[in-house]
Amino acid sequence: MMSNEFEKAFSDFLDRHEYDEAEASLFSMIRLAFVAGWKAAGGTPPQSERIFELISPKTPKAES
């Protein structure tokens, strides 16, 4: 088990935007490597999909 000082420093590191950027880069590299292996094994590459879709609420029509 690490000291409280270490845990605090590590927690602070994880909260920084540099960590988020590094994590995103590592995720992209791992995904690209997985896709390359998938294709090499004869699989079809995954299709891009929407992550989310914004749906606006329907507004009631004004009566004339």
| Contact yes or no for 45/39 (Cβ under 8 A) | yes
> What is the pLDDT confidence band of residue 56, given thresholds at 50, 70 and 90?
confident
pLDDT above 80 (res 39):
yes
Q: If you average pLDDT over residues 57-62, what whole number do you get? A: 75
CA distance 35 to 1: 37
User: If you search the block for the tokens 């995954």, which residue do you land on?
Assistant: 46
Range from 4-8, 34-38, 60-64 that averages highest in pLDDT: 4-8
> What does the pLDDT read at residue 62?
66
Comparison of pLDDT for 7 and 59, the residue scoring more: 7
Q: Which residues contact 51 (CB under 8 A, 6 or more apart)?
A: none
